[in-house]
């Protein structure tokens, strides 16, 4: 198999409904369907005023902020401002959430392992 190339807009944009998400979409960019055996790469977009509520899951994941600024929130309500170029590692089962309190779309990549 040779490498696969596509534009992120080639992936279906789906509305996120888990974790009390609002005004949020996901695109599964690289998955098992493309031959990736260990990881999935996803692109999230959160519109102004949107959020992904605090949640946890067994997959550790890597976040890379592409555009816009958002707030990362932990289970205690503590907040970190995330800006373009910031990279985050979120360990397995660590409660986390995201909120877009700005006036521009927030876009970020999220890489998760298949369990």
- Strands 22-30 vs 39-55: parallel, antiparallel or unpaired: antiparallel
* Domain ranges across the chain: 8-113
Write out the two tokens for 108.
């970020």
Q: How far apart (Å, rounded) are the C-alpha atoms in residues 2 and 76?
A: 46
Q: Look up tokens 């550790």; give the residue.
A: 60
Q: Identify the CATH class of 8-113.
A: mainly beta
Q: Which residues of the chain have pLDDT under 50?
A: none
- What does the pLDDT look like over 87-100, one tens digit per residue? 999 999 999 999 99
CA atoms within 13 A on the CB side of 48: 3
Q: How far apart (Å, rounded) are the C-alpha atoms in residues 44 and 2?
A: 27
Predicted TM-score of the model (pTM): 0.95
């Amino acid at each position: 198999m040779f490498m696969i190339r596509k534009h992120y807009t080639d992936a279906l944009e789906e509305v996120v409904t888990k974790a009390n998400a609002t005004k949020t979409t996901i695109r599964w960019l690289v998955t098992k369907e493309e031959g990736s055996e260990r990881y999935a790469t996803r692109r999230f977009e959160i519109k102004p005023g949107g959020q992904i509520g605090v949640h946890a899951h067994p997959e550790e994941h890597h976040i890379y902020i592409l555009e816009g600024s958002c707030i990362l929130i932990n289970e205690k309500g503590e907040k970190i401002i995330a800006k373009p170029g910031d990279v985050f590692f979120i360990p397995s089962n660590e409660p986390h959430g995201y909120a877009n309190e700005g006036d521009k779309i927030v876009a970020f990549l999220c890489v998760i392992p298949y369990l």
